[in-house]
Amino acid sequence: MSGLSDKRVLITAGGSGIGACFARRFHAEGAKVAICDMDADALAETASTLPGVISVAANVTQTDQMQVLFDQLDNDWGGVDMLCANAGTGGPAGAIEDLSLDDWRACLSANLDGAFLACGWAARHMKEQGSGSMLLTSSTAGLWGYPMRSPYATAKWGVIGLMKTLASELGPYGIRVNALCPGAVEGPRMERVITREAEAHGLDPDELRERYVTGVAMKTWVTADDLADTALFLASDASCKISGQALAVDGHTESLVG
C-alpha cells in the first residue's frame, strides 16, 4: 500500500491477535508504529520483532495508564496520523437474566472506554494538523446483535455510535473516522468465545464452529490479515473520502444461525 511510509500509527491491544497483525503489517509498509496492551508479555514478544516500535504496557480503560502512553507519543511523535482503536473483550456468554451487572460493566468498559480515551487524545493532535484517520474495531455483532452475548453486542453497537458521532464532529477538521466490523476471526480469542458459547447453549464446540459460517454467504472465516488489508487501505490516501462507515469484513453475513 503506497503512501504509508513514515505515517504515525497507534494500535491499542497491539500485543497479540488482530492488533499484533496490524502492527506487523503497518511496520512492513514503513509506518512508525506504537502499540499498547495490558498483557506485558505479549506486548514484549510482538515489540521484539518490530525494530523501532514504541510499546507501552497499559490498560486502555485506565486514564493514568493511557496518559503514560500519550505522553510518550507526544514527546516522540508530536502527533498521530492513524489510530486503530482495537482494544476490547468478548465478555460473558449467557441469558441476560443470568449475567451480572459487574460482567456487563466490565465488557462495556473494555470496548468503549478505551476507544473514548484513545480517540480523545488522537483528536487533539489530528485537529492541529488538519488530517488523520481513526479506525474503531466493532463487530458484525454491532450490526446484527447477538443472542446470549448482550454485553458484547451492546458494546459493539456503541462503538459504531461513537464512530458515527466522531465522523460528524471531526470531519470539518479533515479527520476521517470509520469502524471495522469483523466476522468470525480465526485464532485463539475466537476459540475461547466458542468454548464459552458452547457451554451457554449446551452445544458441541465443533458444531458451533460450523454454525458460525452457516449464515455467511462466502462460508468462510476471516483472518487477521483480511482485517489488516482494510486498515492499511483506510490509512492511505486512496480512502481520502471514506468516513462514517461501518465496514463489515465477514464474507457477507446473511443471517445469525443458532
Question: Which residue has cell 495508564?
Answer: 65
Task: Determine the distance from the C-alpha atom of residue 131 to the mean position of all C-alpha atoms in its chain, rounded to a whole number.
Answer: 21
Contact 230, 247 (CB under 8 A): yes
Count Cβ atoms below 10 Å from residue 207 Cβ, excluding itself: 12
Nearest C-alpha neighbor of 196 from the set 146, 160, 250, 143? 146
- Helix count and strand count (H, E) for the chain: 10, 7
Q: At 256, which amino acid appears? A: L
CA-based nearest residue to 25, from 55, 4, 39: 4
What positions carry a catalytic annotation?
152
Residue 242: strand, helix, or coil: coil
CA dihedral 168, 171, 173, 178 (to 10 degrees): 110
**Residue 114 neighbours by CB under 8 Å, 6+ apart:** 12, 60, 61, 66, 85, 87, 88
Phi/psi for 134 (5° steps) reads -120, 135
